[in-house]
Structure 1
Amino acid sequence: MTTRIGSGAGFAGDRVEPAEDLLARGGLDDLVLECLAERTIALGQQRRLADPVAGYDRRLPSRFARLLPLAVEHGVRVVTNMGAANPLEGGRVTRGLLDSLGSTAAVAVVTGDDVLAELDLDAPAWETGRPLREHGEIVSANAYLGADAILPALDAGARVVLTGRVADPSLFLAPLAHRLGWDLADPSAAAAGTLVGHLLECAGQLTGGYFADPGRKDVPGLARLGFPFADVESDGSATFGKLPGTGGMLNRATVREQLLYEITDPGAYRTPDVSLDLFGVGLDERGPDRVRVTGARGRARPDELKVSVGYRAGSKVEAEISYAGPGAHARAALAGEIVAQRLSGTALRPRVEVRGGPEDCRLRVAATSHDVALLELAGDEVEALYTNGPAGGGGVRVHLGEVVGIVSTLIPRARVRAGVTILEAGRARTAS
């Protein structure tokens, strides 16, 4: 048995057209959109703190308005983490879009990644080694759920599955296990699906997008970059490809780069589903834009889950002004010295830098603090350069905003309780 799974997004700001193409002519069984990262879930938490019905991916309505009609037409199941910091509300928006299409396809919302109430504030943060409570006010804590959290949604017949924080490869492993009848408790099966997910999770990176380096690694047709899919067999072997007529390329080189992307230990890549060993993986080119991948090995899943913890880290200011023409770089550097001197008597330690060439450049001043008035002062000093600094400054931009810091820790798996809510046309129910 073989199933075809495609990658429709590798991050929140990805293009929509390649996913539309995969839905329309890719012959897919499943399409996965991976749109969440530590930064994007922190931004989602910021939006939800300001508005309780916000927090899901802000592009969800526009992206799904284009993709859901095609998914319904071609019978493709969709799995995505665009629920971000508010998956239930994102699910309601998705339900409304399907209703407008006249579709009765069920939407499943996976919850349980929000573990703020279960967090041990005395646990150390990976990045600093200090207890979480020492980082300031904790505002969010999202555990990386695994494929086992998604399977009940698929078993319930959902055609669209929306999650919050789920490990990237798990988004792919769950539909593969469901289609192919794999037991997630089997490390070999979990490893095979996790490897497929890891290779597909960044979408266009596998087909040459992030790979491209002009003159060293030339990639054709990047303006029409196609996203990848994989034909996965029951034994876990998979052949990766992209659609004919699309830009980019998929070969051993692009696959090898993605294979090692964000891997700390190739012999023990830890996910919620398995400890993945990549050392035995084999790559075999089977033709243009076709690579067969085999040999994933795994050990039992860990007893603890990674948690991404958000805390109030103060606010930040970014202030910029441009200089152009002869001597522009020297004038911008002088402007930076003026701002640094003006702020030298304060508690701020701004970063001051000049970006650009000798005749077209931009001064950037950035700082973080819990004192918003000080940050406003930094912005005012840059704006004052219009008439109190070197000649020819213009195009001032000042942005001031709250910072949600991110650190990581672990939580025992037993303290994380995932759940699934099924949103059918006209009613909602809980999946067992």
Structure 2
Amino acid sequence: MNDTIRIGCGAGFSGDRLEPAVVLAAQGHLDFLVLECLAERTIALAQKRKRHDPAQGYDPLLERRLRPLLPLLKQKKFRIITNMGAAHPVAAAERVCALARELGLSLTVAAVTGDDVFAQLSGAEAALETGQPLHASGPLISANAYLGTDALLPALATDADLILTGRVADPSLFVAPLVHTFGWSLDDPERIGQATVIGHLMECAGQLTGGYFADPGKKDIPDFDRLGHPFVDVAADGTALFSKVPGTGGRLTLRTAKEQLLYEVMDPGRYFTPDVIADFTHVRLEEVGPDRIKASGGRGQARPDTLKVSVGYDAGFIGEGEISYAGANALGRAQLAGETIRRRLAADFPDLHIDYIGHTSVHRTVLGHPPDPYEIRLRVAGQATTAAQAALIGEEVEALYTNGPAGGGGARKYVREVVGIVSTLLPRAQVHPSVTLHHA
């Protein structure tokens, strides 16, 4: 049994940069590299792609992200764990094997499935967000349960170089290699609670090293354009030491670690995952050197009997239009344009959304008494049942060129299909993960 293992996080979301993972793979002396690329929004987009093409549904950057990593994986002898399988892990595994053959590499890929629980839902289950039956949101098109460490362990027990999953809880991507390596029991909430702290600190990659933290003049981060992603050395007792590759940009400090520890956590004393109900309230963070943070004290309670399920439904189409106004009285002219659009579309779009970007588009209110802005971007958006109806919004905004206030320019229009997301709970006994191996 290993005394310590090192896990790097090469991606914290689907659109993350590609090169930090390559730096970790080449210089990080890793045992495992995790690429965390899935969220509610991205699983919905993946399901939408799969609806239009049954061979698709995996992460669109799968090949670009893995092309430089696969040769390093074979050379440096680490393993990759990633949820880039999204809505179609098997198709993703087949595509990775094809890429490996193209690169002249021998590769074994494990595809973890079973998160797709659409067949297990009746639609009468209550949505966590509304309390209403799921089918009240609209026609249901997908349902993906958040799998945990127990779903990944059979794949880790194989000789797979790369493990591709669909919807797995983010911390579990890191908990699983710890449990596999050290032989920890999934029924030990203290140990799994600490492992979940480790996974939660790592899961957003560059956020731990200063990304989403920096605020110039207040929270300065050096070499921000070369932000390095973190790795963690974990001992058999669960003690964790976080760092990054020397020479990379960013900074790992108590402040960056504390912000990430609380990121997206509603109740630090009861953080629900498929593996444990984690308790972060006794976590101790200690700065033991430049860009070196030690973490201990995570604990927890027994894992819940249910799994969260992300449910996609057909939410129709969104139509959008944008146009800019600049110069004196830019806000007044933009407001006249917005009111004009509202009156013209009120009958068909009673819930039309109008933003004055640069004034009230984020906070939805005026904070204090700011000066009259010199430029405003008007954005109008609304939901429709058909693409043709949604297109009316952009058409009306474009017509402001000659039918609206003075000085409008840079008009654009968009129509996009929307998959809405709600959540529910499903007894874990109804979820049946499985593993298939694919070879190149």
Q: 1:343 aligns with which of 330, 342, 345?
A: 345
How many angstroms apart in 2 are the aligned matches of 1:106 and 1:120? 37
- RMSD, aligned CA: 1.3
How many angstroms apart in 2 are the aligned matches of 1:339 and 1:383? 11
1:346 CA drift (Å): 2.9
Q: Which amino acid aligns with 1:303?
A: D
1:264 CA drift (Å): 1.7
Q: Which amino acid aligns with 2:136?
A: E
Q: Partner of 1:43 in structure 2?
A: 45
Q: Partner of 1:392 in structure 2?
A: 407
Q: 1:359 aligns with which of 368, 374, 388?
A: 374
How many angstroms apart in 1 are the aligned matches of 2:251 and 2:154? 36
Q: Partner of 1:195 in structure 2?
A: 197
Q: Partner of 1:25 in structure 2?
A: 27
How many angstroms apart in 1 are the aligned matches of 2:59 and 2:52? 15
1:300 CA drift (Å): 1.2
Structure 2 residue 430 is matched with structure 1 residue 415? yes
Q: 2:143 aligns with which of 138, 141, 146?
A: 141
The within-5 A match list for 1:32-431 is 32-356=34-358, 358-425=373-440
Q: Which amino acid aligns with 1:22?
A: L
How many angstroms apart in 1 are the aligned matches of 2:214 and 2:293? 18
How many angstroms apart in 1 are the aligned matches of 2:127 and 2:269? 24
Q: Which amino acid aligns with 1:148?
A: D
Q: Which amino acid aligns with 2:156?
A: L
How many angstroms apart in 2 are the aligned matches of 1:284 and 1:352? 47
Which deviates more from structure 2 when the two are superposed, residues 107-116 or residues 189-198? 189-198
How many angstroms apart in 2 are the aligned matches of 1:203 and 1:377? 41
Which deviates more from structure 2 when the two are superposed, residues 338-347 or residues 85-94? 338-347
SS of the residue 2:209 aligns to: coil
1:331 CA drift (Å): 2.2
1:347 CA drift (Å): 4.1
Q: Which amino acid aligns with 2:49?
A: R
Deviation digits for residues 125-156 of structure 1, max 9, x if unmatched? 01011011211110000000001111111101
1:351 CA drift (Å): 1.2
Which deviates more from structure 2 when the two are superposed, residues 111-120 or residues 339-348? 339-348
1:189 CA drift (Å): 2.4
**Aligned CA distance change for structure 1 residues 413 and 367 (closer, same or farther; 3 Å):** same
Deviation digits for residues 296-319 of structure 1, max 9, x if unmatched? 112111111000000011211111
How many angstroms apart in 1 are the aligned matches of 2:348 and 2:142? 31
How many angstroms apart in 1 are the aligned matches of 2:121 and 2:113? 16
SS of the residue 1:71 aligns to: helix
**Aligned CA distance change for structure 1 residues 390 and 273 (closer, same or farther; 3 Å):** same
How many angstroms apart in 1 are the aligned matches of 2:5 and 2:253? 21
How many angstroms apart in 2 are the aligned matches of 1:345 and 1:143? 39
**Aligned 8 A contact 1:56 1:83 in 2:** yes
SS of the residue 2:320 aligns to: strand
**Aligned 8 A contact 1:3 1:180 in 2:** no
How many angstroms apart in 2 are the aligned matches of 1:334 and 1:135? 34
Which deviates more from structure 2 when the two are superposed, residues 55-64 or residues 93-102? 93-102
How many angstroms apart in 1 are the aligned matches of 2:28 and 2:78? 10
SS of the residue 1:168 aligns to: coil
Q: Which amino acid aligns with 1:280?
A: H
How many angstroms apart in 2 are the aligned matches of 1:300 and 1:354? 48
**Aligned 8 A contact 1:348 1:374 in 2:** no
How many angstroms apart in 1 are the aligned matches of 2:231 and 2:349? 52
Aligned length: 425
**Aligned CA distance change for structure 1 residues 346 and 133 (closer, same or farther; 3 Å):** closer
SS of the residue 2:25 aligns to: helix
Identity %: 57
**Aligned 8 A contact 2:71 2:105 in 1:** no
Q: Which amino acid aligns with 1:70?
A: L
Moved over 6 A (4+): none
Deviation digits for residues 172-198 of structure 1, max 9, x if unmatched? 111121122222222222222211111
State TM-score, norm by structure 2: 0.94
1:267 CA drift (Å): 1.2
**Aligned 8 A contact 2:391 2:414 in 1:** no
**Aligned 8 A contact 1:348 1:369 in 2:** no
How many angstroms apart in 1 are the aligned matches of 2:226 and 2:30? 20
SS of the residue 2:67 aligns to: helix
